[in-house]
Structure 1
Amino acid sequence: MILGLDVGGTQTDAVVLEDGHVRAHTKTVNRPELLETLGQSLDKTLAGIEPDKIQRMVFSTTMATNAVVMDNMDPAGMIVSAGPGMNPEWFSVGPSYHVVEGCMDHRGTEVMALDKSQVKEAIREMEKAGVNACGIVCKFSVRNPHQELQVEEWLGGQFGYKALGHRFSGSLNFPRRIATAYLNAALHKLHTKFISSLETTLTERGLNAPRYLMKPDGGTIRLDKSCEFPAQTAQSGPAASVMGALALDGCKGVTLVLDIGGTTTDMALVLDGLPLWVPNGIRIGEHRTSIRSLLTRSVGFGGDSEVKVEDGKKLSIGPMRRGEAMAFGGPMPTPTDAMITLGLMEEGDKDLARKAMEKIGAQLSLDAEKAAKIILEETTKGMTKAVIDFVKRINSRPVYTIHEVIEGIKIDPDRIVVLGAPAPIVAPMLEKAFNIPCVVPPHYQVANAVGAAAAKVTAEISLQADTQRGSMVIPEVGLESAIARDFTMAAAMEQAKEALFSRGLAVGADPGDQEFAVIEKEEFNMIRGGYRVGKNIRLKLALVPGLIPDCNCGGQQL
């Protein structure tokens, strides 16, 4: 049996999968205290199931994303070096940001040694600022991490966690590595505390199976290993939606996935079973990171979105959520109240829902039923506009799957998979608006939890080789080794695969299921004085996101 649990903005969904079937599923209204919510959800979902029957557990949480957006992170310091050509002050982040002298060139050769006195002064300033975690980023550390490692050594044991930029990404994008290192440092204490409390909660209930967290790339990472990369768990909810749609439906053709939650609607596009990707990294709050992700978008239309009348005549829906629907004791009218008033939902207090619609209707000179109909019509229009805008943006630039870049082809959805509690109500409206089939798969209410439970472990590595310098670097695993002048792309591929599989095993991948894709592959000669002096080889490999065995059934079992 597999346990999947997804903490959304409004509710926590949980499922138990057994032999490719959903054996149990529950929804729990979120409490202010996250661990209380998790405990209640676990107890309800696993009622009557022996703890030792659970063989795998996967969790998806909005905690990291919320902490960034609400600026509820711990203070983290940054030590950055770049050398000439780019001013690192442009990318200043956090309460204690320090630029020190020293740099490598684009090939990884040290051209200016680090100034140790400046690093020591930065340490003193960070201590004054009450910082207990530090990010370290040097401009070309992905070609040679020597200086980042040197700063780490000089820091000694003075900080509890050190986020070295080259360990999170092998990409050259300096600003994104700064943001990524900072977020990992700023989230580390919060994330570690959450993981420790979650581990205790699970152990108290006798749940000792392997534990994983969902990532935004549609894959998972071992729970304990996630503490090394806490920012990697941000934005995992939308990715869980996509993986849930794949598990429940298969997503053949050009499929638009819409997951309608209480707070937001998440959307994504899947091309014949392959989700679209953000190759350079996602934006989390105001930070552009190097964290790879499925291409998703969230908009402020949900079942519990605030409905109000502005200027005495204009109906406004979302993006804020003030609480539950009035039918469930909430403070403001919502689309959920409209659905209950029209008899489209059985849950909730019908009298309270009607009062919510009367409140809106009174301002528009409408009765409750007409107000409810208009609210649902406007909600559907808002979702429709957001979808059209999402597809337009996708068609305005090249798009990526895990295997290839797609250019010059207009992508138009030919079907929609609708998930979330209101799916059966909203799907007919969307089908009318788009004139394409809208599918509501089985277990649509808990699709995110299904997606989390069914997702495989993913990992990625980058390789940089310079045959003139005689050096090969795989920054994500901290590997730097000497190579011969006749080092080839074929040899690089073997080294990269070995490193990727090793990294995959370290974060919990199945040794027998390590399908990989080549994300980047580049080789060019280096010329000096009209002669070839060596080769530069670059590779990026990733374990392909997908579904574990027995869950990749396109809705035939689940």
Structure 2
Amino acid sequence: MRIGIDVGGTNTDAVLLEGPRVLATTKSATSQDVTSGIVSALQALRAQHAFDPAAVGAVMIGTTHFLNALVEARGLAPTAALRLGLPATSALPPFVDWPERLTRAVAGRPYLAHGGHEFDGRKIADLNEDELRRHAADMAAHGIRSVAISSVFSPVSDEFEVRAAEILRAELGPDVALSLSHEIGRIGLLERENATAVNAALRELAAGIVDGLAGAVAGFGITAPLYLSQNDGTLMDLEYARRYPVATFASGPTNSMRGAAVLSGLDTCAVVDVGGTTSDVGVLTQGFPREAGTAVDVAGVRTNFRMPDVHSIGIGGGSLVVEDGGRVTVGPRSVGYRLTDDALVFGGSTLTATDVAVAAGLTDIGDRSAVAHLDARLVKEALDTIAADVARAVESMRTSPEPLPVVAVGGGSVLLPDTLPGSGTVHRPDHFAVANAIGAAIAQVGGEVDRVYAIDAGRRETVLDEARQEAVDRAVAAGANPAGVRIVEFDEVPVPYLPGNATRIRCKAVGDLQQVS
């Protein structure tokens, strides 16, 4: 058996699985105290289906806590960003494009030093170790506890980042948290540097949250391994989560899409996850979310780590329904987590999308008599508006003329019609309300390579095979069963503005966890 838990901003969903079979599900309000909320979810699962905690093979948790902390600028550590690239790259120092509010929250201090490589591994400049020691002394004087180290083209050669980390650790002590950009971001210096600095700022918070999650599970008597969901649909262990908290960003929508795939049996489709405030629309390819192909803005910071390509619109169960001059609009304003207080069916005075769904007979929650007075025309126009807005969002995610099958998940998906304009039948599988927790429970382990290679004449196939094998090796090292690892993504893109047959290769391998029933 395995347990999947998704801790969202509004609800905490949990499922108990035995193989592909769903034994129990639960949905409850997320508590401010992470630990008690997870314990409550585990107790609710056991109340539905009694199980021995010792029989649980693994627990998978998806959480939005790290992303919320960044958005709210709370709990962030004093952070330095050290860039190795002089005499190049001095025009735009680290933190240059960060919102001032966030820079203040991390007490961000930028440092520039000599180093870096060209795309083919040639050095821009030698590392100046005395220069790094002077920077370390200044960091110590300003109370820096976490450092992001980025070097030009470090995905090609990590030599300087690794050596700089050794020097800083020796100067600042073993307790300093170091984040290296070649382990976090992709090609693109500023975006990779930003992603690394965000990770560094979250390191202290990550330790507390991860310990809290582990304590909640252990306190319930479960001794099985605990994993956290990553934003690419794969898993990481607790030590990895402590080191790379940014890898959890967007794990909620990713879990929903992965859950939609397993519940519907469709591995290539559009997924509409309707929550309380927004609807997230993404695309599954071979059972995994399509990744954003461009830089991703997170809390006003431009980054390039792995994120699913998701389009969000302001329609959810708590969306306000307003009639003005005979025209009915739905959202983007929402009552959000106050739905159970403000909606008409719960004794409130605000007309919401949930009230409209109850009036139309799409769901049966709260007091139906409280919406009996609603005009049938208003109800129909509101539902038509929701369908049209969602259909446009799905259409915007298509990359080919062929229509995509649509799978609806999330508690608010009852708002959608059985047929969506331009997309045909809407698939609403069993357990759709807890698809995010199911996505966490069935997640696999992955390994990825993203690098620019200089491919010599006659060596193309050799280089491609080496990249594939490295991705497989990384998946196995992360805990995947070697017998079932497969390549799920492979991109080979020539880089015409660089000499030497430069080619960017992206390769992703995934496999099931070892020894998990």
TM-score band w.r.t. shorter chain:
0.7 to 0.9
Could you say which residue in structure 2 is the equivalent of 1:216?
A: 231
User: How far off is 1:90 after superposition?
Assistant: 7.0
Q: Deviations over 1:175-209 (max 9, x none)?
A: 11111101111111112211111111111112122
Q: Deviations over 1:381-420 (max 9, x none)?
A: 245335414533654xxxxxxxxxxxxx43433x321112
The change in CA–CA distance for 1:487 and 1:227 in structure 2 (over 3 A counts) is farther
CA contact under 8 A between 1:489 and 1:523: conserved in structure 2? Answer: no
Match of 1:426 in 2: 416
- Which amino acid in structure 2 is aligned with residue 442 of structure 1? D
* Structure 1 residues 373 and 335: alpha-carbon distance in aligned structure 2, compared to 1, 3 A threshold: farther
Question: Partner amino acid for 2:116?
Answer: M
Give the Cα separation in 2 of the matches to 1:221 and 1:190.
17
**Most deviating of 450-459 and 97-106:** 97-106
1:184 pairs with 2:202 = no
Cα deviation digits, residues 221-278 of structure 1 (max 9, x gap): 22332222110111011111111111011226x6321111122211112357564332
Q: In the alignment, what sits opposite 1:296?
A: 310
In structure 2, the CA distance between the partners of 1:391 and 1:130, relative to structure 1 (3 Å rule), is: farther
Q: Which residue of 1 aligns with 2:67?
A: 65
Aligned to 2:82: 79
Q: Equivalent residue for 1:417? A: 407
1:242 aligns with 2:246: no
8 Å Cα contact 2:150-2:182 kept in structure 1 = yes
Which of 347, 350, 374 is 1:369 aligned to? 374
The aligned residue for residue 479 of structure 1 is none
Match of 2:110 in 1: 98
Mapped to 2, the partners of 1:465 and 1:238 lie a distance apart of: 32
Aligned to 2:55: 53
2: CA distance, partners of 1:85 / 1:331: 61
Give the letter for the 2:374 counterpart.
Answer: E
Decide whether the 8 Å contact of 2:7 with 2:62 is kept in 1: yes
CA contact (8 A) 1:418 1:427 kept: no
Q: Distance in 2 between the 1:341 and 1:525 partners?
A: 59
| Counterpart position of 2:507 | 541
1:108-147 alignment to 2 at 5 Å?
A: 108-116=121-129, 118-147=131-160
State the distance in 2 between where 1:463 and 1:269 align: 25
Alignment of 1:160-175 (within 5 A): 160-169=176-185, 171-175=186-190
Name the residue aligned to 2:28. 28
Deviates most, 25-34 or 327-336: 327-336
Partner amino acid for 1:18? E
Partner in structure 1 of residue 433 of structure 2:
445
Task: Work out the CA distance in 2 between the residues paired with 1:118 and 1:329.
Answer: 66
Partner of 1:384: 388
Contact kept, 8 Å, 1:455 with 1:548, in 2: the verdict is no
Q: Measured at CA, do residues 341 and 125 of structure 1 come closer, stay the same or move farther in structure 2, by a change above 3 Å?
A: farther
State the TM-score, normalized to the length of structure 1. 0.78
Residue 89 in structure 1 maps to residue 98 in structure 2:
no
1:347-398: CA deviation from partner (whole Å, max 9, x where unpaired): 22456xx3xx6xxxxxxxxx9412x863674365245335414533654xxx
Contact 1:135 1:165 in 2 (8 A): yes
> How many residues matched?
497
Note the residue ranges of structure 1 that are not aligned, 5 or more in a row.
358-366, 396-408, 468-484, 529-533, 552-558
Segment of structure 1 superposing worse, 312-321 or 256-265: 312-321
Is 1:515–2:514 an aligned residue pair?
no
Quick one: percent identity of the two aligned structures? 24
- Give the Cα–Cα distance (whole angstroms) in 2 for the partners of residues 29 and 376 of structure 1: 30
Asked whether the equivalents of residues 10 and 29 of structure 1 are also in contact (C-alpha less than 8 Å), the reply is yes
Which residue does the alignment assign to 2:291? 277
* Structure-2 separation of matches of 1:331 and 1:285: 33
Q: Report the CA distance shift for 1:411/1:139 in structure 2 as closer, same or farther (over 3 A).
A: farther
Which residue among 361, 364, 376 is the counterpart of 1:346?
A: 364
Kindly provide the amino acid, as one letter, of the partner of residue 187 in structure 1: L
Q: 1:256 to 1:539 in 2, by over 3 A?
A: closer
CA distance in 2, matches of 1:100, 1:223: 32
CA deviation after TM superposition for structure 1 residue 45, in Å: 1.0
2:452–2:504 CA contact under 8 A, matched in 1: yes
Matched residue SS, 1:347: coil
1:280-337 C-alpha deviation (Å, 9 max, x unpaired): 5543222232222332222221112345678999756234425223344778543223
Q: Deviations over 1:141-176 (max 9, x none)?
A: 22222322232122125253111111224x321111
Following the alignment from structure 1 to structure 2, what is the Cα–Cα distance between the partners of residues 273 and 152?
38
Match of 2:352 among 334, 337, 341: 334
Code of the aligned partner of 1:426? L
User: In the alignment, is the contact (CA less than 8 A) between 2:60 and 2:228 conserved in 1?
Assistant: yes
Say if 1:101 and 1:75 are closer, same or farther in 2 by CA, change over 3 A.
closer
Q: Distance in 2 between matches of 1:196 and 1:50?
A: 23
Decide whether the 8 Å contact of 2:280 with 2:313 is kept in 1.
yes
- 1:88 is matched by which residue type in structure 2? L
| Matched residue SS, 1:369 | coil
TM-score, normalised via structure 2 length = 0.84
Separation in 2 of the partners of 1:507 and 1:187?
A: 22
Between the aligned partners of 1:527 and 1:66, the Cα distance in structure 2 is 39
Matches of 1:549 and 1:238, distance apart in 2: 27
Q: Compared with structure 1, are the counterparts of its residues 190 and 379 closer, same or farther at alpha carbon in structure 2 (3 Å cutoff)?
A: farther
Q: Evaluate the alpha carbon distance shift between residue 520 and residue 342 of structure 1 in structure 2; reply closer, same or farther with a 3 A threshold.
A: closer
Q: Does 1:460 align with 2:475?
A: no
8 Å Cα contact 1:310-1:316 kept in structure 2: no
**Structure-2 change in CA distance of 1:202 and 1:176 (3 Å):** same
Preserved CA contact (<8 Å) 1:456 1:546? yes
